[in-house]
Structure formats: C-alpha cells, structure tokens
Chain A
Amino acid sequence: MALLSSTALLEDLSRITPALNVIVDHERLRPFETDAFISHRAMPMCAVLPESEAQVSSILKSCSARGVPVVTRGAGTGISGGAIPRDDGVLVVLTKLNQVKRVDPLARTACVGPGVRNIVVSEAGAPHGLFYAPDPSSQLICSIGGNVAENSGGVHCLKYGLTTHNLMQVRVALSEGEVVVVGSLALDSAGYDLLAVVTGSEGMLGLITEIVVKLQPLPEHVETLLAAFPSVTDAANAVGRIIGGGVIPAALEMMDKMVIEACEKFMAAGFPLDAEALLLIELDGVEEEVAEQLTQVEAVLCDCHAQEIRRAKDDIEREKLWKARKGAFAALATIRPDYYTIDGTIPRRCLPQVLARYEVLAHEYGMLVANVFHAGDGNLHPCIFYDATVPGEMERSEELGGKMLEICVEVGGTITGEHGVGLEKLKQMCIQFRPNEIAAFHAIKAAFDPSGVLNPGKGIPELKRCSEWGGMHVRNGEMPRADIPRF
C-alpha cells in the first residue's frame, strides 16, 4: 500500500479509537506477530484495539474502503495461525471488548463481549448453578470471540457439544461496517442458519462483537475414573463399548505411554507408569443416574482388561487428574523443547489402525510422537517433538503432521476437529476437498465479505495453490479423480 494512503488510514484509526490504542512501533507490535502457531510470524502494518462495536465498525469501513486486509485477534491462543497478521494489513485486537454484559439465570444465557475469557463465562454462571460447557484446554486465557471464530471444542464436547451447539446469537460487524444480528434469543431464527456458518469461520466472514451463549445447569454429581490398560487396542475397545452400551460420558480422554510419563514427571499426577494407555472418564448428571452408569462403566473396563481402575474420591483428586490432562501439552514440553500438535478426527473404529500407522511414520521420520486425545469423539492430538534450534527439524515435523492428517482423511475423517485450518492446514484442505467444494467456500466468503479484506489467505486455500502444491484429493481410500465427473 502506498505510503500516503497508509498514513491516511493511520490517521483515520487514531480518530476512531484513542490514539493510544493504535500501535505502530515495532517494539510494541512484537507480541502480536504470531498467535499460538508460533512457527509462523508477520509484523502487521499496525494493531488497533477498539473499545466498542461502533469503533470496530468504523475501523472496518476505513480498511475495506482502502482495500486493506484485516486480521482479527482475541487472546492469540489459536494454534492453526488464524490470527497471524499480514504485513500489508491491520490487526484488530478485540481484547478490550471484555465485558460480561448480562447473565439471565432464568433463560440460562449470558451476553458477553468477544474478549471475555472462556472461564469467566462459567464463573459468571456459577452463582446461579450454571456453566458454559465448551472448555478448550486454553480455557483460562482464550477468549470467547476466538472460540466462536474457531468453533472450539474441549474435553466435554462429546456430551455437551462444540461451540456451535452452545450459542444463541452473535453480533457480527461485516467488512463494510454494517453490524448484523445472527441467530436469536429464541431457539431458531428466520432464514438460513447463518449462525452455523459464522461459527468456525476463522475471522473470514465478519468480526464478532457480541455473543449470547447458552448456559447449562451444573451437574449435581460427578464421578471421575482413571483406567490403565496394557494396550491401546484394549483402551479403544473400552471406549466403543461404553458408548455402544448407552452411556455418554461427560468426558472420555485417552493418553499414551509417553504422555503418562511426561505428566508424571511434570506434575506427579500419580498415574500408573506401567500402562500403555490411560482412559480418563468423567460421568455427570443426577446422583442416582451417575451411580447407575458407574456400575456399567466399571464392568466394561474390567472386561476390556483394565489393569487398574481409580476413582477420584473427592474434588481435590478429581482436579489433580484433570490438571494433568489439561496440562498434558505443557508436560510434554519437558521431553523436547518444541512440539507440534495435530488435530485430525477419525471414525473411532479406526483408532488402533491409525495409531499404529502413526507409529510407523514417526519411526520413518525418526521423531518422537505422543498421543493425548478426545477418545470419545475420535479427535486425535498427536504431538510431534522437535528442536527448533536443529535446522530442518521444524519443517520435518510439519511434513510428518501433514502426512498424519492425510491418513485421517483417507479413513473417512477430517484434518481438523477443533483447532481450525488457519495457515497451518491450507495444504491439507486441498486433500480433503475437491476444487468445486473449495470454490463453494470462496463463494460463501464473497457472500459475506465481497471486498475480500477479512483474513484473506487463511482457512480456504486458493485453487491455484492446490495445484501448485500438487495436493490430491484422497477420501475414504478413493483414488484422486478430481477432474473427472463422478457418477
């Protein structure tokens, strides 16, 4: 962009928000160079921190009129690079829109700004016996706006759903500055389900300025079990049989041997060290109901060769188990300085097969891979360890990760269950989707953002890049045949 017009834009931005909220010097921009996809970074032209929806709207008007790209950022905890700035664009940081505006205990809703942290929503509901269910592992620091942009999941989504299942209404500022209400305070709204499209749209359709979430009653009773298994296959069988038997646990998490050891070393959670796989199972609901399910689950675990079953006696023990699970990623950092986490989802029945193939791949690449994941919904999070100071290791970890995602697509799964595409998985999008499907995504973006200034280059690959990358569509083991009509 020409210097003259960028000066005019900066003047505009300083008129729209207090000048203090417009950051241009490199030192102060440094923290905004990347999100939690730390292997990529870029210095934005400027960062701006609006204090109201009206300011957001004016910023968008000003940028889109000049064709300046806008990247939105919340807490910057996204791990697919969706909030990484562009050097020719403005970074809009929504952390100042952090008010809990209303909690309506009778209607079981909370109205919050996008910059409110996830955990704060549950804290606001707690005095009324309510909570906000989606709980990504970054819930202490991640923002609700980012959760909506990424359609975040968490450990409880098998039972309580993803972000998309827990929203009522959002206010969205569109690229030309208009603000629309999407969804409603009723259980549905007139017209197309735009709320579903906006949720998980990674900042490419609009900026979310206000969110009304659904709150759920806090469960009356919770039981947390930990079962150790001699093999991953046994643990996977147990998962299938618990669910097939009619119990939907609030959470069902699996960890492999490497994770168990790391957690133990880092936080001494008391996990058995001789097991090959652990299942962390949480049941919640009415006390009598949980008791009934507990008996059923324990029987399945024994039947599936569990070596040891532990039951948290109290909240302190429960918290210890969960702290270990949610802090697993930090624990893993003690193994090797850097790690790269993958987010594919597969049909659960393919679990033993896919994990075995991962092991072979990891061996081929000579890299350590640990698995900690949401077993109930087949969402895998293999962690690839590397040392960024060793030249080429980071690139190799990304290449290995890409191959792991391709396996997910091949068995009928997806390249991302909850982390989003961002910059990270653009190449794999070319594998999961055919050209006319990718074209449909671009058409959806254009329907919301005709000027194309919102987070361009993220989420949906350009078709010509797909052919440059040589990305081939492989789905359910089918051969690639993207250009041939399929009859």
Chain B
Amino acid sequence: MDAFIHGLTQQIRQAHDAKTALAIHGGNTKAFYGGPVAGQALDMRPYTGIIDYEPKELVLTARAGTTLAEIETTMAKENQMLPFEPPYFSQGATIGGTVASGLSGPRRPYTGAVRDFVLGARIVNGKGEDLRFGGRVIKNVAGYDVSRLMTGALGTLGVLLDLSFKVLPTPREEMTLRYEMDEATAILRFNEWAGRPLPISATSWHEGVAMLRLSGAIAGVKAARETLGGDPVATAEADQFWCDLRDHRATFFQTAEPLWRLSVPSTTAALQLDLPHWMEWGGALRWVRGSADIKALREKVQAAGGHVTLFRGGDKASGVFHPLPPVLAKIHRNLKAAFDPVNILNPGRMDNF
C-alpha cells in the first residue's frame, strides 16, 4: 500500500505541475452525483483493506477503496454497524466514495449522518502532500475539524486515503410498522414521535402510506410498538423496503426523469409541487421526480429553509447544487485554493461556488 500512496502522491504532484485535472473514483456507484468532471481517471479501488477494527473501542479504520460490503460484513460478525446506514446504490460502493459524497441512509435523522461518525482522515491534497487530521479516538478537538470538512466535499479538497469511524452496536431487534395517512398527518406524526423517547430508526411516506422502523432492545421495541399502533410488516418485506429506499431501487426512483433531492426543515408543510414525491428522514428529506422549473423550485425550498440538489439525471447545465450566498461562496473558493491551489481535484464536481 505504501507503493500505491507513493504512486498517488507522484501522480498528483505531476498533475499539479502540469495543471492536469484528475477525476477520482472508487466503485463508480455514485458517478451520477454532482457536476460533470473531465480529467485523468484516478482509481482508488486498489487501495483497499480494513486497517484497524477493535469492536470494544467502537472504532474502525479502513482504506478508502475498501468496499462497503466488506466493511459491513466484517462488522456484522461483531454485531456492529456503520450507524449512518450508507447507501450502496449498486455493487462495488466504497467507503471512500461514501465519505466523499457525504450521503447517509434512512437512519440518518435518528442516529446521525456520515459526517457525525467520521473521526479522522488521511488525505493527499492537490499539492501531493500526505496529511492526517483527526484520529482514531472518539473525542478530539486538536486543530480544525478537517476530517468532517472532507465529508461531502466530493474529493474536491483532497484524495481520501485512510478513514476512521465511530461505529455502534447493531440493535438487537427491529420492527417496521405501516400506517395509512396523508402527507400532512405524516409530517406531524413523524415530528411528534421524534420528540418522544421512542426507539425510532427510520421513517418514510409515499402515496398515502407511512412506514416507521423501530430499532433497539427487544423489550424497548415491543413497548414502543404497543404505544404506536400501526400494522407490523413481515421482517423480510420490511428489510427489502428500507434497502430499496436506501439504494433507490424502489420503482419511484427507477426513472429517466430528473430526480430532485430537497433537504428541508423536518416540519416543512407539504410542498405542493404537483410532482410525484417521496418523503423520508422524518420529513427532512423530500425526493421529487420530474421536470421542474429549477429557479422556482430553488426559491420555494430556500424560502422554507432548505436546499435543492439535482440528484440524478436532468440538465446539469443550470447547476446540480444549490447556489451559495456570495460570502459563503468566497470562503468555499478560499478553502478550495488552500487545499487544491491549481484546481486539479475533481474540478467542477461541486458546482455551486
């Protein structure tokens, strides 16, 4: 692996000197996400392997090219999990791509996002410098929190090498409940339930059907189920449901139409967009499918306190990510210049500053 890092830093230094763009990739399972990048391919898949995993410490460190499948299989043997339920989208998803995209799955509002569990990152910046930030301990406030800054930066600030995470025990029991209710009721219920000490781990609403997942100790799930009513869903069916939602395999997401990701305050009322939509994250995430006037959509969502991403498909020319206010955009440009002064790392992938 030292040889790989040596080659990588050399390649980046050469690209830096020649100002050649690099397009970083792992399993290419999220290639659809973000602005278009043209550049020399930088394949991270050979940089693989779990470096350190001590279940009692609740800490795992892996190389960026390690597949999510390998990590989750290893952790399952110890009854532990990556708490942010990362989407795979398709086979071959890597941990590096997961951190770079910063995307989390259905458990996110209740347990935390990928950024919440990243403890440390070793990166190579756009000058070919091998840098380490954070560490392998749960609490660490030495220096600015660069490992979290890397999360969701889509590789534009550095090539991710080694990544450390806080992990959690897998809940012993899981149960999914199904309800028929309209969208407004679902938004209200999801928020009310989240304000009570209930072991909720996922929520979804689509076309009049709300789904609620409980995760925790056996007795706790049982007690919550009695309080919450609803119809229990068979385990296999429920697992399939959450997996299909996480990986966008449900029919709603299988579309050639543009897919919009609307991240909004969880109490935001139904958006009345006249387009097919799917709500999760307790109301804080609304997926919308179909052609929309991007300007009007952004204005509406921004007024509600949220932001819009053209998640998949559509015309990327009018921007994938929500435009930033000028002062924030300036800070983004300054940070980009600090880590990647000649703009060779995934240029254009994050397209809003």
Contact = CB atoms under 8 A, between A and B. Distances in A.
Contact of A248 (B140, B169, B172, B220): B169
B101 to A, nearest CB: 12
Nearest to B305: A185
Contact of B263 (A161, A182, A188): A188
24 contacts: A105-B195, A158-B138, A174-B327, A180-B327, A181-B325, A186-B263, A187-B266, A190-B352, A192-B335, A193-B152, A193-B153, A200-B145, A244-B55, A348-B57, A414-B140, A416-B140, A417-B137, A440-B129, A441-B143, A444-B144, A447-B335, A447-B337, A448-B334, A487-B3
B196 A217 contact: yes
B270 interface: no
Contact of A285 (B133, B151, B197, B334): B197
Interface string B329-353: 0011011011100000000001011
Given A188-B152, A349-B56, 18 more contacts: A104-B267, A105-B195, A178-B327, A182-B328, A184-B306, A186-B306, A193-B152, A289-B216, A292-B218, A379-B137, A412-B136, A414-B142, A433-B142, A440-B338, A441-B143, A444-B149, A447-B337, A487-B3
Given A164-B145, A190-B321, A217-B197, A285 B335 contact: no
Contacts of B191: 106-108
Interface in A145-170: 150-151, 153, 157-158, 161-162, 164-165
B264 A186 contact: yes
Contact of B143 (A192, A217, A345, A460): A460
Q: Which 7 A-B pairs have the closest CB atoms?
A: A289-B220, A288-B219, A196-B148, A447-B334, A443-B338, A417-B139, A246-B169
Interface in B273-321: 281, 284-285, 305-307, 309, 321
Nearest to B341: A443
A196 B145 contact: yes
A53 B157 CA distance: 32
A293 interface: yes
Nearest to B282: A187
Interface stretch (B18-26, B89-97, B106-114, B243-251): B106-114
Interface string A189-227: 111111011011100010000000000011110000000
Contacts of A348: 56-57
A420 B125 CA distance: 25
- What band does the interface of chain B fall in when counting residues whose beta carbon is under 8 Å from A? 35 or more
Interface string A388-415: 0000000000000000000000001111
Contacts of B146: 197, 440-441, 444
Interface string A291-305: 111000000000000
B106 to A, nearest CB: 12
A264 B189 CA distance: 48
Given A104-B267, A190-B307, A413-B135, A243 B56 contact: yes
B195 A106 contact: yes
B178 interface: no
A417 B131 contact: no
A287 interface: yes
A106 B192 contact: yes
Contact of A288 (B108, B223, B335): B223
Contacts of A197: 144-146, 148-149
Nearest to B58: A243
Among A128, A187, A199, A201, the most chain B Cβ lie within 10 Å of the Cβ of: A187
Interface of A: 104-108, 128-130, 150-151, 153, 157-158, 161-162, 164-165, 174, 178, 180-182, 184-194, 196-197, 199-201, 205, 217-220, 240-241, 243-244, 246-248, 285-289, 291-293, 345-349, 374, 377-379, 412-421, 425, 429, 432-434, 436-437, 440-441, 443-448, 450, 459-460, 475, 485-487
A486 B162 CA distance: 15
B194 interface: yes
Contact of B338 (A243, A293, A421, A444): A444
Given A193-B102, A447-B335, A417 B219 contact: no
Q: Which of B132, B143, B323, B325 has the most CB of A within 10 A?
A: B143
B332 A436 contact: no
B2 A487 contact: yes
B54 interface: yes
Interface in B126-182: 129-133, 135-146, 148-149, 151-153, 157, 168-170, 172
Contacts of B136: 347, 412
Nearest to B153: A192
Given A191-B321, A193-B115, A247 B169 contact: yes
Interface of B: 2-3, 5-6, 9, 54-59, 79, 102, 108-109, 112-113, 115-116, 125, 129-133, 135-146, 148-149, 151-153, 157, 168-170, 172, 188, 191-192, 194-199, 216-220, 222-224, 263-267, 281, 284-285, 305-307, 309, 321-325, 327-328, 331-332, 334-335, 337-339, 350, 352-353
A240 B195 contact: no
B157 to A, nearest CB: 8
Q: Which of A153, A200, A414, A436 has the most CB of B within 10 A?
A: A414
Contacts of B324: 190-191
A431 to B, nearest CB: 10
Contacts of A241: 56
A351 to B, nearest CB: 11
Nearest to B306: A186
B137 A414 contact: yes
A192 B332 contact: yes
A36 to B, nearest CB: 16
Contact of B328 (A188, A191, A440, A485): A191
B216 A447 contact: no
Contacts of B284: 186-187
B141 A286 contact: no
Contacts of A174: 327
A185 B58 CA distance: 29
A186 B265 CA distance: 4
A161 B140 contact: no
B197 A161 contact: no
A293 B217 contact: yes
Nearest to A162: B139
A220 to B, nearest CB: 4
A418 B138 CA distance: 10
B281 A187 contact: yes
Contacts of B57: 240, 347-349, 378
With a 10 A CB-CB cut-off, give which of B59, B145, B264 has the most chain A CB atoms: B145
B267 A447 contact: no
Nearest to B329: A191
Contacts of A105: 195
A187 B217 contact: no
Contacts of B9: 485, 487
A130 B194 CA distance: 11
Interface centre among B309, B327, B339 (most CB of A within 10 A): B327
Contact of B102 (A188, A288, A413): A188
A421 B321 contact: no
Contact of B141 (A188, A419, A441, A475): A419
Residue in A191, A219, A418, A436 with the greatest tally of chain B CB atoms within 10 Å: A191
Contacts of A378: 57, 137-139
A485 B5 CA distance: 11
